[in-house]
Amino acid sequence: MAGLALQRDSFAYKANLSGRCKKARVFRLGLSISGGVAGLALQRDSFACKANLSDRCKKAQAFLLGLSISGGVAGLALQRDSFADKANLSDRCKKARVFRLGLSISGGAAGLALQRDSFACKANLSDRCKKAQAFLLGLSISGGVAGLALQ
């Protein structure tokens, strides 16, 4: 069956964030379903919003999403990386540093990890680059079944 938890994050509000972003940061949502079905967790990243980012980027950074399915099915996690940018790199170098890609194959199955470089982006990058850097993606497949992590 399902278990749902909607909790307040006591470290949510920041004086320099918009009211909408503050409200979004107030809660942490978790949904889990046992019996080899699905587990969903939508949690707030307390270090997500930065005052120098646009409201749109702040909102994107306000959450981390995790979905896991047991019983040899799939797992999905979408998480924010709270440490982003460097100011002294060229845009091309910055973008190259945004992601770190690793591919591993074991047991005849494949595992893919596309991860964010936690030292990637600072406030002098465009909103588009900031948003791109807000996430790191990981995909792993084991036992001939798939597990997906978007972090």
Q: What is the pLDDT of residue 24?
A: 39
Going by C-alpha positions, the residue among 67, 54, 68 that lies closest to residue 134 is: 54
Q: What is the pLDDT of residue 16?
A: 34
User: Which residues are registered as beta bridge partners of 101?
Assistant: 114
Overall pTM surpassing 0.95 (yes/no):
no
How far apart, in Å, are the Cα atoms of 125 and each of 40, 54, 59, 111, 133?
32, 11, 17, 31, 10
27 with 42: CB under 8 angstroms?
Answer: no
Q: What is the pLDDT of residue 142?
A: 35
Q: Give me the tens of pLDDT residue by residue for the chain, a chain 151 residues long.
A: 233 333 333 333 333 334 444 433 333 333 333 332 333 333 333 333 333 334 444 444 333 333 332 332 233 222 233 233 333 334 434 333 333 322 222 233 333 333 333 333 333 344 444 444 433 333 333 333 333 333 2
Q: What is the pLDDT of residue 4?
A: 34
Q: What is the pLDDT of residue 48?
A: 35
Q: What is the pLDDT of residue 138?
A: 32
